[in-house]
Amino acid sequence: MKRAIVIAAALVFGGLLINAIVDLPSSPVDLRIAVADNMANSGVSHPVTAVLLNFRGYDTLLEIAVLLLALIGLMAAGPMLPPPPNQPADALLQKLARIATPPVIVVGGYLLWAGAFRPGGAFQAGAVLAAAMVLLHLSGLLSAWNAQLLPLARRVILVGGFVLFLCISVALLAAGSLLQYPPHQAGLLILLIESGLTLSLAAILAGLFLFLSRDNGGAP
């Protein structure tokens, strides 16, 4: 009975949604034109990066806060026990992980650099670097993190990108408003922010895995 009601409600809602989307009028505002008109002053040549880091950079600043919050929330609620000691995995796996890591770092660096003119940027680069850290952890080369005892250096890396972004935003307040880049320095400042964010995002994303890891290297 309950299931039937849920299914019926989902169908009705889905129908309404489809109907609304099919009937969607052509929108009176076209932001693509505004974006194209202002690309020259944005400091980058890829529109997505221009929107994320310049036109709507304030959203991105707050989104980084959301990611940090997810990590701090995990630490606050997370396991009180220290993680189990790391156990080395299969020698072949370790060897392959060692071979794979340097190219992954290069790919991360390239994605960061490419963000200025093609799809890419700090989020993608950070995700790739985080994947390398997870790989190293799973092959027993990088130990899990203890949420209760986090060394100062790690805390600084976790928040560093956000702090850099916040400081630059506030410094630009002198020009009139928050995050108001001077057009000539915009490209450089965006690259600086994205570089900081890449490292911090890699640490945050990897942290979400490494704080919770109870992996014991394949041992029963």
Partner 1 sequence: MVEPVTFVVWLIVLPLAWAVAAFVTGERIGAWLGVVGSAIQTFLVVWMVATWDVAVPVIHRVGGWGAPLGIDLAVDGLALAMLLLTQVVSLPLTIYARSYFSEDASKSRHFWPLAGFLIAGLNALFVSADVFNIYVTLEIVGLSAVSLVAIGGGRAQISAALRYLFATLIGSGAYLLGVALIYGAFGSVSLATLIPLVGSNPPQAFALAGLLMLFGLMLKTALFPFHYWLPPAHGGAAAPVSALLSALVVKASFYLTLRLWTELFASIADDIAWIPALLGAGAILWGSWRAIQAIRIKMLIAYSTVAQLGYLFLVFPLLPGQDAIRATVMQACAHGAAKAAMFAAAGVLIKATGQDTMAGLAGMTGRLPLTLFAFGLAGMTLMGLPPSSGFLAKWQLIEAGMARDLWIIPVVALAGGLLTAVYIFRILSFAFLLSPSSVKIATVPRVQEWTAFALAAGSVLLGLRGVELMALLPGQVP
Binding site for partner 1 (CB under 8 A): 16-17, 19-21, 23-25, 27-31, 34-35, 38, 54-59, 62-63, 65-66, 68-70, 72-73, 75-78, 80, 148, 152, 155-156, 158-159, 162-163, 166, 169-170, 173, 175-181
Residue closer to partner 1 by CB (options 8, 173) is: 173
From the CB of 209, what's the least distance to partner 1, in Å? 18
From the CB of 139, what's the least distance to partner 1, in Å? 30
The tokens of 182 are what? 């001077």
Phi, psi dihedrals of residue 211, rounded to the nearest 5°: -75, -30
From the CB of 202, what's the least distance to partner 1, in Å? 17
Cβ atoms of 186 and 54 within 8 Å: the answer is yes
Residue closer to partner 1 by CB (options 55, 209) is: 55
Cβ atoms of 180 and 205 within 8 Å: the answer is no
Residue closer to partner 1 by CB (options 7, 31) is: 31
Residue closer to partner 1 by CB (options 99, 174) is: 174
Q: What's the one-letter identity of residue 167?
A: C
Residue closer to partner 1 by CB (options 198, 200) is: 200
CA max distance for the chain: 65
Give the separation between CA 63 and CA 112, rounded to whole angstroms: 18
C-alpha count within 13 angstroms, C-beta hemisphere, residue 45:
4
Query: Residue 29 carries which DSSP code?
Result: -
Name the burial class of residue 197, with classes exposed (0-12), middle (13-18) and buried (19+) by CB atoms within 10 angstroms of its CB: buried
Residue closer to partner 1 by CB (options 108, 196) is: 196
From the CB of 81, what's the least distance to partner 1, in Å? 11
Nearest one of 140, 156, 160, 48 to 93, comparing CA atoms: 140
Phi, psi dihedrals of residue 141, rounded to the nearest 5°: -95, -15
From the CB of 19, what's the least distance to partner 1, in Å? 7
From the CB of 17, what's the least distance to partner 1, in Å? 7
